[in-house]
Amino acid sequence: MNRSDSFCTDLHPGSLATFSSPAHPTVSLHSAYHFYASCDRDTQGLLRNCTWGFITKSAFLTLLIKCPSTEVYWHILTSLSILADRIAPFSYQARIRVYPPVGQGTPLELGVEEITAHLGW
């Protein structure tokens, strides 16, 4: 994992990550809090169990979620439509990248438009 993909958990809520690499400027904490506040209580609970944050890479806003266990990873994957719905107001071209637990596979990355198109919204 390179420096631009590293996570830290020293901000409130405890799962919010910062990404300080110059290649990946951070989205303001205000935006991250707004996203978190727009999530329902169950989704907030899932996010609290993960390390998460936003980066911008080229023109795309990307929500990164690092899952600590297979169970949390599964719950995050089943909540992708909810997460996509909450990110869409920021950018319909946003992406969600979900990292499984260390050593258990490669990250899954989907566009918000792919998730919502699959659901027929």
| 88-107 confidence digits (pLDDT tens) | 888 778 899 999 999 999 99
Place 59 in a pLDDT band, splitting at 50, 70 and 90: confident
* Mean pLDDT value of segment 58-77: 91
What pLDDT, on a 0 to 100 scale, did the predictor assign at position 117?
64
Higher-pLDDT residue of 32, 30 = 32
* Mean pLDDT value of segment 28-46: 87
Q: What is the mean pLDDT of the chain?
A: 77
Residues 6+ apart with CB under 8 A from 7: 17, 19, 51, 53, 64, 66
Distance between CA atoms of residues 72 and 46, nearest Å: 7
Q: Are 82 and 107 in contact (CB under 8 A)?
A: no
What pLDDT, on a 0 to 100 scale, did the predictor assign at position 9?
35
Distance between CA atoms of residues 41 and 2, nearest Å: 32
DSSP of 41-88:
HHHHHHHHTSEEEEEEETTEEEEEEE-SSHHHHHHHHHTHHHHHHHHT
H or E stretch covering 97: strand 95-99
Higher-pLDDT residue of 14, 56 = 56
Amino acid identity at 109: E
